[in-house]
Structure 1
Amino acid sequence: MEFTPIERAPGAFQRTVTAEEIRAMARRAFGAGVRVRSAVELGPGSYNSAYRVDVGAERAVILRVAPEPARQFRIERQWMRNEYAGVPYFAVIAPLLPRTLAADFTHAVIGRDYLFQTLLDGVPAPEGLRACPRAEWAPFFQGLGTIARDIHTVRGDRFGPMAGPGFATWGEAVVATLRDTAADLDDVGLDASDVREVAAAAVRHRALLDEITEPRLLHGDLWTANVMMAGGAPVPAITGVFDCDRASWGDPEADWTIFVAGRTRPEQRRAFRETYGPPASTPEAERRALFYQAQHLGAVRLERHRLGRTDDIPASYDEMRDVISRLRTAF
């Protein structure tokens, strides 16, 4: 078996598995007779470890291995199981999703969750977009808008992550996420007082959050990094969507996609909105958006810590100060 892992610095969050572990996982998934010819670790993901594995089938498959349970933050616990539970609800974009071939959450082979999926067609969108003149990117972002809009039409019966915990009200779900984020920041030695202040404000203004009464499907991480596109096509077209592990039920305006769309270049934001639709513009929606921004900024702070991007962490505090200032003014 030819094995090509990614070389990482000591102490890096992602930990590769061994060639023998890959063989054992493949035997568990496809039978004792399977022959693993090669495995190549893929980048640039920052959470699960992913491998392109040749098992002698018509085409290679993807192996994704979750971090050890003890290394997962509260706000990202059991994300792989969360994605597995949520896949049926993404039927609206089923042709774009990888198919799950096998999943093993028993920890009998290794002490981590893992699953095998089909390999999506195309090239990673960041790579494909770099090969296109920026003036030709509009169809890609219009496609993102269409996909996000379709996902957000799916209705649920509770709020919160796909695999739980579930919440009867949206306010409960938002407060729980903010409190878990603060606790995670405490665990890694980062100041969480600003996140706690937002959580306290969310408790005081639960009635505003609870105006959202119909849970909708949220992807949680839909943007360029988790999309495949046709390589060499005259128009940049999306061919696949992956990494739905952050999926949850909530207010569409709280989805990561909406947060990032509001921060991207104006021409890309316009293209996205052409198909997704205009942003919510009521005073109530604008106030709720401040809580959503705080949720995302807290998660970004944790991710920057995990990736060792210490120079970028202070910016999250600057942005959070602005959110808190606007919250105080809004109420």
Structure 2
Amino acid sequence: MHFQPIERPAQAFQQPVTPAHLQEISRRVFGRDVVEAVELGLGMYNTTYKVTIEGRDRPVVMRFAPEPARQARSERELMRNEYATAPYLAPIAPLMPRIIAADWSHELIGRDYLVQTLLDGVPAPDGLPGYPRPTWTSFFRKMGEVTRKVHDVRGPAFGPVAAPAYRTWSEAVAGALRELAADAEDAGLHAADLRKAAALAEERRDVLDEITEPRLLTGDLWTVNTMIAEKAPEPTLTGVLDFDRTWWGDPAADWTIRMANAKQDERLAFWETYGKQERTPAAAWRSLIYEIRHLGAVRLERHRHGESDGVAQSYDDVAAVLAEID
């Protein structure tokens, strides 16, 4: 087989698998050998390969979670969370990769893995720059439509789809902040600011608990997790992927909403199909708590990838948000 990994430092968070592992998995799932495996580099958590199987017309995707010991509290068993979410994503099923196999047994490799169909198109970060920016509005309108369909799905409890489940939204938010703080401390980072935010979430639980109906949050949907058509006259969204960070909660807490609000540019078209945001004082306060949760997750990711300047910047960013809350 032809094997094309991405060269990474030995201490890198994303660890490769061996050609032998890929062959064993292919034989288990398809009963056939791998012809070629090429590692895909856009993701920053799982390790992902485009794999060509003997006798199959189309390649498949094999995704490998980090080894259990390398997973943080706030990112535990994300692949299993994605698998548990699949039945709730029926409203956007035509845009999703299909799961061919899932294996949590660790019999062949000491990591969870998924085998999925390969989506058509090109990753949006690669394809969008080839279009004039004014035409990007069509892409963001479709993003708004997709996000609205996900947020309209109702759930049984608050928190990650797979677990743990929380009775109230304030418990879920405070719990997430405490987990992020503990993860940061495990990594040797200070986390007093995240613990302060958790305390604020508990103190002002009445504001958070105005959210009484759990809705499905995409967790991580933005351009990096989308595909667009090749050679279309305008950017055309054809696929969405990597729903491993899904939550039940307040749609305003979703990463997608944060990114849609990040700049006043072509992404304003997102709101044309998504709909209007709540603009009450309570909603504004909640958005500040949600921003700290996002910044805490970004801090951990930057630390994981050795971005010391980005880690330092996260403390200034959280401090600015806390000042607004106070």
Q: TM-score, normalised by structure 2?
A: 0.98
Instruction: Give the corresponding residue for 1:246.
Output: 245
CA distance in 1, matches of 2:95, 2:246: 16
1:287–1:327: 8 Å Cα contact kept in structure 2? yes
- Offset of residue 275 of structure 1: 1.3
1:229–1:238: 8 Å Cα contact kept in structure 2? yes
2:81–2:246: 8 Å Cα contact kept in structure 1? yes
- Offset of residue 268 of structure 1: 2.5
SS in 1 for 2:45: coil
Corresponding residue to 1:43 among 28, 41, 44 = 41
Instruction: Find out whether 1:91 has 2:93 as its counterpart.
Output: no
CA distance in 1, matches of 2:33, 2:25: 11
- Offset of residue 46 of structure 1: 0.7
| Count of residue correspondences | 325
1:59-81 deviation line (CA, Å, top 9, x unaligned):
00000000001111111110000
SS in 1 for 2:34: coil
1:45-70 deviation line (CA, Å, top 9, x unaligned):
11000000011311000000000011
Instruction: Give the corresponding residue for 1:180.
Output: 179
Q: Structure 1: give runs of 5+ residues left out of the alignment.
A: none
1:84-111 deviation line (CA, Å, top 9, x unaligned):
0001100010000000001100001110
CA distance in 1, matches of 2:170, 2:304: 28
1:29–1:103: 8 Å Cα contact kept in structure 2? no
Instruction: Give the corresponding residue for 1:112.
Output: 111
Runs of 4+ in 1 over 4 A off after TM superposition: none
Instruction: Give the corresponding residue for 1:6.
Output: 6
Instruction: Give the corresponding residue for 2:308.
Output: 310
Instruction: Give the corresponding residue for 2:223.
Output: 224
CA distance in 1, matches of 2:35, 2:10: 28
SS in 2 for 1:246: coil
CA RMSD of aligned residues (A): 0.8
Instruction: Give the corresponding residue for 1:24.
Output: 24
2:295–2:314: 8 Å Cα contact kept in structure 1? yes
Instruction: Give the corresponding residue for 1:125.
Output: 124
CA distance in 2, matches of 1:83, 1:252: 18
Matches within 5 A, 1:1-331: 1-31=1-31, 34-56=32-54, 57-264=56-263, 266-328=264-326
Letter in 1 for 2:18: T
Letter in 2 for 1:232: K
- Offset of residue 317 of structure 1: 1.0
1:132-170 deviation line (CA, Å, top 9, x unaligned):
111211111111111111110000110111110111111
1:31-51 deviation line (CA, Å, top 9, x unaligned):
3xx121111111121100000
CA distance in 1, matches of 2:50, 2:99: 14
Letter in 1 for 2:228: M
SS in 1 for 2:175: helix
SS in 1 for 2:181: helix
Letter in 2 for 1:45: G
Q: TM-score, normalised by structure 1?
A: 0.97
Letter in 1 for 2:14: Q
SS in 2 for 1:308: coil
SS in 1 for 2:63: strand
SS in 2 for 1:213: coil
- Offset of residue 315 of structure 1: 1.6
CA distance in 2, matches of 1:285, 1:143: 25
SS in 2 for 1:137: helix
1:215-248 deviation line (CA, Å, top 9, x unaligned):
0001101100000000110011100000000011
- Offset of residue 27 of structure 1: 1.5
CA distance in 1, matches of 2:267, 2:50: 33
- Offset of residue 269 of structure 1: 3.3
CA distance in 2, matches of 1:268, 1:179: 35
